[in-house]
Structure 1
Amino acid sequence: MTRAALLVCPTSGKGRAARLAGTVAARLRTAVDSLDLHVAGSAEGTADLARQAVDDGVDVLVVLGGDGGAHLGVQACAGTSTALAVVPAGTGNDLATALGTTSVDDVVRALHEGRTRPLDLGRLGDGTWFATVLCAGFDSAVNERANGMRWPAGPRRYDLAILAELATLRPEPLVVATENGRLELDALLVAVGNTGSYGGGIPVCPDADDADGLFDITVVAAAPRRTLLRMLPTLRTGRHVDHPAVRTLRAKSVTLSGPGWVGYADGERLHALPLEVSCRPAALTVVSAQVGA
């Protein structure tokens, strides 16, 4: 018998999750033996309901929402026997994309076929988990601006936020320390990727593998604004890693430090650097529709 809980984040996608909840619940009930529906009006309430469902022993926690809701689901399911599934209804939906679940039909199909797999997670020093990308610098500023924008919907919001933040962009001192060494430079952004993409599909760490026990780390060093403008189109293709201003590293753990930097993970604001994070192999079981998963 498969017991599942559907966790609805009603404000995700400017109310899209709330509008889809009934349809999604009906579709999921065709793939599980029982389904409990949980709806919360705040992030705190969503986190509490996720923990309650996991503590109650459900086999699968399905999050209907964006990366923020998925992030809360990760906190509840990490290190437990409860599998996490994500039905995308937010702005970026990067974790759902990494899992290949771009719709409820993908989740239903994966549940029917019993398609689950282990996923590595990042673990911060304060115990917070993240599933996709931890970032700081320019990309954090873009996240902050995009989160405050009411228009447009979807990934296009991140594109406009990028252009707006370029106007005030300036490098800051950054230290990236891993088990393999220490990198000190003036930089514009740093991204620690468990999966490859953030910001609605921007492959900032294009070669990241969420099952290899390692982070892919992308650092963009100080460069003239005109150079960055020429680099921007390559962000959508992953070719930015070939640029001379870009450094890439791989590591099991990393400490980021530097004045003026604020960290984000899974699109959620953390706090100012320093941040310590380690890769925890197979820390989460996920429902995945990826071919070969």
Structure 2
Amino acid sequence: MLAVTADDRRTTGPVAVLANPVAGRGRHRALLPRVLDGLAAAGRPVELLTAHDPTGAEAACHAAVAAGVSALVAVGGDGTVHRALQAVGGTAVPFAPVPVGTGNDFAADAGFPADPLAAVAVIADALRAGRTRPVDLARMTGGDGTDRWYGAVLAAGFDAIVNERANRMRWPRGPRRYDLAILVELARLRPRRYTLRLDGVGHEVDAVLVAVGNGARYGGGMRICPAADLTDGLLDVVVGGRFDRRTLIRVKPRIYAGTHVTHPLASSFRARTVELAAEGITTYADGERSLDLPVRISAVPRAVRLLR
């Protein structure tokens, strides 16, 4: 009897699928059977992972990778992708997102079609051909030694503070809760003192917005780090300085086009490692609540292999 090697499992084993049924507020739930059929057309068995919460989803991805799946596919938005990346980051297991979330920033920066079924066709073709494309991830380490991967952007300023307030609120439900959180935090807006170390070089800045991008986009298409490239081995750091409320409101729409970086109060940097510290900030990575500052972030070249 011939032994089945790890390489054999990676080319013939099952494709694990993590699906978030409430991604995009549930608009695409009926698509899931077509997504699974489209992936199965690549000629490999498909296994749908079951999980009841984000922690369970992450654990299911780790278990699937440990069991030797040939690929992992995340059906959802950036939050679902973020959970899956914790299992595939730094491994040889191919990965792909099927963008059905409210925000699909990593998938867009990685070049996947915005249409979910078109993305599935690209993934299935890559599976059949055994084709992958390596891209970078960011690796963050908290003060307690906790490590996390992220693919898109780490927010550590006004947007992170708004997310933190919205998550604490019980009313209203839906998008209005986030809108109300913005109004509350705009009323409380003040620059905070940040300590930045970029490849070991220290900077002290007063800012209302700090973003560290492996990719360019966050928040459903805002190009906060417009020059970021998933394949350059670098992190892009964008700092919004001492903006007052009126100026921030006026500049914020420009983030969608990425032209905010030309404002005199904005600064941009590039580095392989970023150390970031400030008082009272909980970061959000890929839109998900992440680590408290201080954190150390490293660009990890070719950390994940995309099915493209």
Q: Could you tell me the TM-score, scaled by structure 1's length?
A: 0.89
What is the correspondence of 1:1-293 to structure 2 with a 5 Å cutoff? 1-2=11-12, 3-16=14-27, 18-101=29-112, 102=114, 103-113=116-126, 114=129, 115-125=131-141, 126-144=146-164, 150-152=173-175, 162=182, 165-179=185-199, 181-288=201-308
Separation of aligned partners in 2, 1:160 and 1:206: 27
In 2: Cα distance, 1:83 partner to 1:52 partner: 15
C-alpha separation in 2, matches of 1:215 and 1:160 = 32
Q: Deviations over 1:197-245 (max 9, x none)?
A: 0000100000001111100000011122222222122111100000010
Mean CA deviation greater in 130-139 or 159-168: 159-168
Counterpart amino acid of residue 151 in structure 1: G
Report if the CA contact (8 A) 2:110-2:230 is conserved.
no
Separation (CA, whole Å) in 2 of partners of 1:165 and 1:96: 30
Change (3 A) 1:180 1:274: closer
CA-atom RMSD in angstroms: 2.2
CA distance in 2, matches of 1:16, 1:185: 42
CA deviations over 1:118-159 (Å, ceiling 9, x no partner): 111111122211111111110202333566674349xxx977
Q: Do the aligned partners of 1:100 and 1:106 also contact (CA within 8 Å) in 2?
A: no
Which is worse superposed, 112-121 or 56-65? 112-121
CA distance in 2, matches of 1:161, 1:27: 40
- CA–CA separation in structure 1 for the residues paired with 2:78 and 2:225: 17
User: Bigger radius of gyration, 1 or 2?
Assistant: 2
Moved more, 27-36 or 142-151: 142-151
Unpaired stretches in structure 1, ≥5 consecutive residues: 289-293
Between the aligned partners of 2:166 and 2:99, the Cα distance in structure 1 is 18
In structure 2, the residue matched to 1:291 is none
TM-score (structure 2 length as normaliser):
0.85
Q: Is the 8 A contact 1:263 1:273 kept in 2?
A: yes
CA distance in structure 1 between the aligned counterparts of 2:87 and 2:121, rounded to whole angstroms: 21
CA distance, structure 2, for counterparts of residue 72 and residue 193 of structure 1: 18
In 1, the alpha carbon distance for the partners of 2:182 and 2:258 equals 16
Secondary structure in 2 matching 1:124: strand
Identity of matched residues, %? 44
For residue 111 of structure 1, what is the amino acid of its counterpart? A
